[in-house]
């Protein structure tokens, strides 16, 4: 029997995951999940494929996305659940960020060369296979070139904040990010608040229109999870959960379905999504 009913934070080759969207759904079905959300970075390109596979395999696939914003200098990730992939506002936003990601990747390549760890950026771009290029693609290239011994070393030595090849992302505010998600008919949820100790930002994001927080996550310890459960209850926020699995990574990493929501937790999220779709202002562009 599956440990969880739903995993609401999953990535595919449409952004920086290792599995095609349909394969992510197949893995979810094999794990016994009844629902999942595909939440690729800055793209909804994998949604149609994933939902088609879900219809065949009996897995409900929620159209999702993961967007990046900044509260001051602090990077925050926002999950959008139940978004309309045809939303003009979301499409324009994603296209803008995809273009920025390409420029960012090229600049990272230059900085890596200057730091004595050159990689072939044309091959990195090709490895994205039409998806959104990201730091995991570059980490894989660093590993293949022998500059590092592991994915974690690639990030620690070269790609993390304050590392030699770190390049900031395109800056938008939490309110702008949340507005895009809501314009697309979705529910905005703060991703992994415990990952970089961002619990203090939750009231600010709630004020900006955030409607939920990711309570259960592969990087949350038991204490953090408990604190987030309490905060969700106290502030009237939807509590969600997911593994943040990117597929089969060299250094292991979170596995699909090893974190998520039980049946009762999923039913609350499902009701929120259904209620949103039933309101007159729900966007269907």
What pLDDT is recorded for position 279?
Answer: 54
Would you place residue 278 in the very low, low, confident or very high pLDDT band (cuts 50, 70, 90)? Answer: low
**Which candidate, 185, 183, 184, 179, places its Cα nearest to that of 276?**
185
> φ, ψ for residue 86 (rounded to 5)?
-95, 5
Domain boundaries along the sequence of the chain: 6-86+170-278, 95-159
Would you place residue 254 in the very low, low, confident or very high pLDDT band (cuts 50, 70, 90)? Answer: confident
Share of residues in the chain with pLDDT > 70 (%): 94
- The CATH-assigned architecture of domain 6-86+170-278 is Alpha-Beta Barrel (3.20)
pLDDT in tens, 195-246: 989 999 999 999 999 999 999 999 999 999 999 999 999 999 999 999 999 9
pLDDT in tens, 159-197: 988 899 988 878 899 999 999 999 999 999 999 999 989
What pLDDT is recorded for position 252?
Answer: 60
pLDDT in tens, 31-62: 999 999 999 999 999 999 999 999 999 999 99
What average pLDDT score do residues 102-117 get? 93
C-alpha–C-alpha distance, residues 235 and 6, integer Å? 23
C-alpha–C-alpha distance, residues 141 and 162, integer Å? 20
**Which candidate, 35, 136, 37, 39, places its Cα nearest to that of 78?**
39
Q: What is the DSSP annotation of the chain?
A: --S-SEEEEE--TTTT-SS-HHHHHHHHHHTT-SEEEE--BT--TTHHHHHHHHHHHT-EEEEEEEEEEEETTEEEEEEEES--TT-HHHHHHHHHHHHHHHHHHHHHHHHHHHTT----HHHHHHHTTTS---HHHHHHHHHHTTS-SSHHHHIIIIISTTSTT--PPPP--HHHHHHHHHHTT-EEEE--TTTTT-GGGHHHHHHTT--EEEEEETT--HHHHHHHHHHHHHHTPEEEEE--B-SSBTTB-PPTTSS-B-HHHHHHHHHHHHHHHHSTT----
Chain-centroid distance, C-alpha 110: 26
């Amino acid at each position: 029997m599956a440990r969880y009913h739903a995993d609401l934070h999953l990535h595919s080759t449409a952004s920086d995951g290792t599995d095609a969207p349909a394969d992510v759904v197949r893995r979810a079905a094999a794990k016994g999940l009844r629902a999942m959300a595909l939440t690729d970075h800055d793209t909804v390109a994998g949604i149609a494929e994933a939902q088609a596979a879900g219809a065949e395999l009996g897995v409900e696939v929620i159209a999702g996305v993961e967007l990046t914003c900044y509260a001051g200098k602090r990077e925050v990730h926002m999950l959008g659940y139940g978004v309309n992939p045809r939303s003009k506002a979301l499409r324009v936003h994603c296209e803008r960020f995809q273009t920025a990601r390409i420029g960012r990747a090229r600049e990272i390549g230059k900085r890596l060369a200057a730091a004595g760890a050159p990689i072939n950026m044309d091959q990195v771009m090709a490895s994205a296979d039409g998806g959104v290029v990201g730091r995991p693609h570059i980490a894989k290239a660093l590993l293949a070139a022998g500059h590092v011994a592991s994915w974690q070393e690639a990030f620690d030595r070269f790609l993390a904040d304050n590392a030699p090849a770190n390049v900031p992302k395109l800056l938008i505010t939490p309110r702008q990010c949340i507005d895009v998600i809501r314009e697309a008919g979705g529910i905005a949820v703060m991703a992994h608040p415990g990952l970089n100790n961002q619990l203090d930002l939750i009231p600010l994001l709630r004020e900006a229109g955030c409607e939920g927080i990711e309570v259960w996550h592969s990087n949350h310890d038991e204490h953090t999870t408990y604190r987030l459960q309490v905060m969700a209850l106290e502030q009237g926020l939807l509590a969600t959960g997911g593994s943040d699995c990117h597929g089969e990574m060299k250094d292991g990493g979170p596995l699909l379905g090893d974190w998520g929501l039980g049946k009762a937790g999923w039913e609350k999220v499902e009701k929120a999504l259904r209620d949103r779709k039933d309101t007159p202002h729900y966007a269907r562009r």
